Structures are given as C-alpha cells and as structure tokens.
A and B are shown apart, each in its own frame.
Chain A
Amino acid sequence: MTAALTTPAAPAAARPAGVPRQWRWLARLHRPSLIGGGALVLLAAAALVWLGGPLTDASAAAWKAYNACGFTPRCSYDQSAILLYKDVYNYVTFAVLAVPFLVAAWAGGALVGRETESGTARLAWTQGVSPARWLASRLVLPAVLTVAGTGLLAALHRWAWATGRDRIDTTKSWYDAATFHANGIVPVGLALAGLAAGALAGLVLRRATAALAAAAVAVGVLWGAVHAALPYLWPSVTRVTTLDEGPLGSGLHVGEGVLTAGGGRAAAPCLTSQMQSCRDTLADMGATAFYRDLHPASHYWPLQLVATGILLAVAGLLTYAAFRVLRRTTGTARG
C-alpha cells in the first residue's frame, strides 16, 4: 500500500505499466469450485487406484478360481469380488466421462455467466483489467487445471483397465464406446472444448443458468458428433473372409458386407453359406467373399489423436469467437 504515500500522478504516461494481479483473485473468487473440483478429481483418482490395484487383484483371483473349477459341481469362487470390480469399473468410467460436462457447466455458469449476469465482469473491466485480459485469465488457468485433472483421470483409467485386461475375463474391450473414450485423450479435448463453449455461452447469453445448460448441451452434441464420425477418422483395414466363414475380425467396426464377382460391394443378406438358403442367395447375387472394414487395436491412438485434434480445433474456434464477441460488445480497439 505504498501507492498511497506517493503523490498522485496526473498524466497517464507517468504511471508504471504494472500488470494487474488477476490470478490470485481468480483463485479467490472460485475457491469453492477449486476445492470441490479438486476433491472430486482426487476421489475419482483414488477410486481408479483402488480399481486398478486391490479390486483387480481380487477379481483376477476370483476368475482364476472360477476357471479352475472346470465342471466340478461344488466349487467356490469370490463372486462378489467380480461383481464389485464390474460395478466400480462402470462408475469410474462414467465419472471420467462426466468431467467434460462438469467443466463446461462450471465455465458457463460460474466462471463467465455469473459475472456477465451480475455485472461483476464490468467491474473487472473498469478496474485495471481490459476485457481481453479478463477473458484470457478466465480461460488459461482453468484450461491448465482441466488438462491436468482430466489427463490424470484418463491416464489412471487406462492404467486400471490395462492391469485387468489379461487377467479378468470380462474386461471391456478397447473398442467398447465408454472405455474407448475414457482410456484416451478425447476427454481432455472435450473438456477444453466445453470450457471454451461455456465462456462463449456466458458472454453471449449473459445468464448463468442458460449458459450452464447451453455449454453442457454443446459438449453432448460435440461428443455425439465425434463418436459418430470416429470410424471414419482414420483409414480402416479390410478383412476378407470366405463365404463359409462369414465376416470376421474384432475391433472397431466400420462396415461389412459381401464382395461380388464384378468386384463390387453389397450388403450381406445373411452371414454364412453353411445354411442352404443363405448359400443360394449368395450364389444368386454372385458373392465371392465376405468383407469387414474395421480398426484393429493398433488404430487406437491414431483415432484418439485425430478425434482430439478435431475437438481442440473446435475449442480454438470457440475461444476465438468468445474474444470476437467480447471485442464487438465492448468496442475494445486492441487487446
């Protein structure tokens, strides 16, 4: 508070160009959210560690006992361990996938929407903080925390899933929709897009609840779109099988059908020539083989990277739009 002792500097040029200390106040204003969000992340992380450690061991042991039973009529294994593993796995997967929605709702409702609705944003803008700096601070620090929190949970989820993969018979496959996303970096991209969507919604709608809902819906729509486009984000592999075998190959399916003598593709009327009626139909249409387009496990990271890249591009566009909206409403000449 030494400023009070100095004589007032009348000309603006004489003022030192100090940078406003916004971070501290951003953290102070959102302290409850920081604590609550941090607690949620830690809780989910603890659950994931529990899942990947003791629960996986217990479930694997139970499966081992079960498989050793063979056809012995009286044989005991720890069924509750298997069920507990499955339940907890489903819950934590859900928790990891819920993070982007929570980030978006918080960004729209509390971070920006509440300030534009109550007018405290204007208070900040008429202190020494320009609107652009104000928005930048509200995006950068939450973005860093979002990446750290979401990334930690997704990494732990992948670790927990991987430790159980070969030991527990009912582990979800890598291409199971929820597991596919929760194991990778898509939630991180989705959460960042949600943060930007929340900020934009808060600036445009200027209502906390409306912005909260809009941002959460935006994340849902984005995720749906990315999930629908997922099979086409990387060139797929085609596996050709005989008419007798039917379409084969496990992985993320893109499409399947029959290859005809002319080299064309057609929808499969039925799935094996071992049945008389099917064999006749296939012969009629000149089918020579079944095919299946799919992504093998090796395509997991390329698919994740492309999907996350798209989400990051969307997040970038939303951020750009938010700054544009802010500049247009406040008439800020420069950042």
Chain B
Amino acid sequence: MTVPALEADALGKRFGRRAWALRDCSFRLPAGRVCAVVGPNGAGKSTLLALAAGLLAPTEGTVRVLGAHPATARPRVGFVSQDKPLYPQLTVAETLRMGADLNPGHWDADTAHRAVAGGDLDPGRRIRALSGGQRTRVALALALGKRPELLLLDEPMADLDPLARHELMGLLMGEAAAHGTTVVMSSHVVAELEDSCDHLLLVGGGQVRLSGAIDDLLAAHTRVTAPAGADLAPHEVVESRTTGRQLSAVIRPSGPLPDDWRAHTPSLEELVLSYLRNPAAPAPAPAPEILEAAV
C-alpha cells in the first residue's frame, strides 16, 4: 500500500483562547486522488489546509503529509491560500522567475508558463495591476511550477469567471493526471467540484462529517420517498422530512427497502446538504477502501 497523501489523527487547532476551529479530525486521503474539501464558511476548511501545508502547528493530534511531518514535506507540497498572496510590486514574469529561484531543482517553467499563458496576461504587468482572476492564475502557476506531489488549494476558483474556471480546472486536472498529483481543494460551492473530484471530505462545525470516495459515499446513501409516517428503522437516517402525505429522507440502508418506497441515488449536493442541515446525523463507518488503506 502506498503512503497516504494526507492523514490526520485526532487533529485539532484552537486559536488563542477562542473556540476550536477544528477538533478531533481523523481521516486518510490515498495518494493520487482529487479531493474536494466541502463545508460552509468558517467550517475549518482553511485551517485544515494550512495545517497540512505546515503553515500552522496543530494544537492537538497529528497530521502527516506524504508520510512525513508537514514541515518536512513542505518542499513537495504546493499551496495556494484563499487570498492568493503575491508580491504586488513584482511583474508576472518576475514572479515566475522568483518561483524558479526559490524552488531550485524542481521547477517546471513550462507548466508555470502554460498556466499563465491561458489568461492572455502581459508578463510585464505588475501583480498589483491584475484582476482577482488573473492573480489566481499567477498563484496557481507558482504552485504548479513547483511540481508538487500534493497540491493544496483553498477556494481556488472563487475569483474566476466560468470560462476561466473551466479552463484552469482543465489545466489543473491535466497536470494532476499527468504527474499523479494528489489535489485537495476546498470550496463552499459543491457544484464547482463535483465534476473534477473523486474524493470528498465534508467539514462542518470544525469536524470531519464525511470522508471517502465520492462514488462509495453516494452508493452508501439512498434518497427515498415514502408514505408519511413510514418507519425508517433499521436504516440509519441522515435527514428526513414530511411534506403533506409524503416523507422524503436520505438514509444509509442497512437492508432491502420496502416496495412502496421510491428510492434513488442522491446527487453529491443533496448528500452534502443533508449532512450539513443535520449536525446530529451519525457519521458513517469508514468506507472499506479506507480501511484497506489503513492496513
């Protein structure tokens, strides 16, 4: 079994004396996945990514990145934070040259230039003169040029118009597929990630609510419509609602369903929302492939 790209064990982070931003997070992300970190604003997504990037020290628990301490793994990890910090006084070309100088021995100028070229960017323009989307493009180029084994992206597409988002996502996925890069990207817009990700990490209220391959998670859940008053036991209920004479629910079936229930596979968005709307919903047992990875 290969080393997991990201592995958290009872991970927690508290800022000062304030409430916990993240607590008791345990999950395991196999290498080579494209993982969506989904959750509402303030759920702890950014904290989780910063911990993985070795920019923050955990208050409790551990996080292992590519099998190593985050600080040790840092040269092999790319990171783009939510506000896409860049030096405003440098030009686009200078920023890329800086990337080459700061990453000696593992800088891929072609990839970096390709990421920038798609945006019709004048290399001589200063970063401070760029739009939000253009800055995102340069920040991504810096992260991709480093040719990381693990790429951590915090809300990477937030500033992009749909066209640029599609184009950059394509570039990102192409690079990830070509080099076997593990990608972890956060968003509070599920639809943004649905097409490109094969793994889900749902964060809510500072906790990991769901973690696993998206296909497995969807297969493990069923959206049912049943007559009002139907008994949902023994299935595990994530969410149930009664409207008029109808009951609709998202459940994890633990056996065959009655014939008079209409059942179908939920969409990813439905699944995510059902968990977010119901903080008390029980977390499923780890999917089999994750248990396998743990061996």
> Across the interface, which residues of A come within 8 angstroms of B238, CB to CB?
none
The residues in B between 197 and 216 inclusive whose CB is less than 8 angstroms from any CB of A are none
| Among B66, B87, B102: residue with most chain A CB under 10 A | B102
Contact A3 B105 (CB under 8 A): yes
Binds A, one of B55-63, B229-237, B252-260: B55-63
> Across the interface, which residues of B come within 8 angstroms of A18, CB to CB?
104-105
The residues in A between 288 and 335 inclusive whose CB is less than 8 angstroms from any CB of B are 328-334
| Among B71, B79, B111, B147: residue with most chain A CB under 10 A | B71
Contact A21 B102 (CB under 8 A): yes
Q: Give 1 or 0 for each of A6-23: 1 = CB within 8 Å of chain B CB.
A: 001110100111111110
Tell which of A1, A125, A129, A331 touches B58, judged by Cβ atoms closer than 8 Å. A331
Shortest Cβ gap from A330 to chain B (Å): 6
Binds A, one of B93-101, B163-171, B263-271, B274-282: B93-101
> Across the interface, which residues of A come within 8 angstroms of B56, CB to CB?
329-331
| Among A17, A28, A123, A334: residue with most chain B CB under 10 A | A123
Contact A124 B102 (CB under 8 A): yes
Given that A4-B108, A127-B102 are known contacts, is A10 also in contact with B85, CB under 8 Å in the complex?
no
Given that A123-B142, A126-B55, A126-B74 are known contacts, is A15 also in contact with B106, CB under 8 Å in the complex?
yes
Contact A331 B57 (CB under 8 A): yes
Complex: chain B residue closest to A328, CB-CB: B57
Contact A12 B149 (CB under 8 A): yes
Shortest Cβ gap from B78 to chain A (Å): 7
Tell whether A130 is near chain B: CB-to-CB under 8 Å.
yes
Contact A3 B100 (CB under 8 A): yes
Q: Give 1 or 0 for each of B39-72: 1 = CB within 8 Å of chain A CB.
A: 0000000000010011111100000001001111
Chain B interfacial residues counted at CB < 8 A? 48
Given that A3-B100, A129-B102, A330-B54 are known contacts, is A120 also in contact with B71, CB under 8 Å in the complex?
no
Tell whether B131 is near chain A: CB-to-CB under 8 Å.
no
> Across the interface, which residues of B come within 8 angstroms of A330, CB to CB?
54-57, 71
> Across the interface, which residues of B come within 8 angstroms of A54, CB to CB?
none
Contact B79 A333 (CB under 8 A): no
> Across the interface, which residues of B come within 8 angstroms of A124, CB to CB?
102
| Among A4, A21, A118, A129: residue with most chain B CB under 10 A | A4
Tell whether A74 is near chain B: CB-to-CB under 8 Å.
no
A21 to B76, CA, bound (A): 18
Contact A29 B104 (CB under 8 A): no
Contact B58 A128 (CB under 8 A): no
A126 to B56, CA, bound (A): 12
A21 to B98, CA, bound (A): 9
Contact A3 B102 (CB under 8 A): no
A126 to B81, CA, bound (A): 10
Contact B55 A8 (CB under 8 A): no
> Across the interface, which residues of A come within 8 angstroms of B58, CB to CB?
331
Contact B146 A331 (CB under 8 A): no
Tell whether B75 is near chain A: CB-to-CB under 8 Å.
yes
A333 to B57, CA, bound (A): 10
Kindly list the 5 A-B residue pairs having the minimum CB-CB distance in the complex, ordered from nearest: A331-B57, A18-B104, A119-B85, A127-B102, A126-B79
Q: Which residues of A contact B (CB under 8 A)?
A: 1, 3-4, 8-10, 12, 15-22, 24-25, 28-29, 118-120, 122-130, 328-334
Return 25 A-B CB contacts under 8 Å, by A number: A1-B100, A3-B107, A3-B108, A9-B106, A10-B179, A15-B75, A18-B104, A18-B105, A19-B104, A20-B101, A20-B103, A25-B102, A28-B90, A119-B81, A120-B87, A122-B55, A123-B139, A125-B74, A126-B53, A128-B103, A328-B57, A330-B56, A331-B56, A333-B69, A333-B72
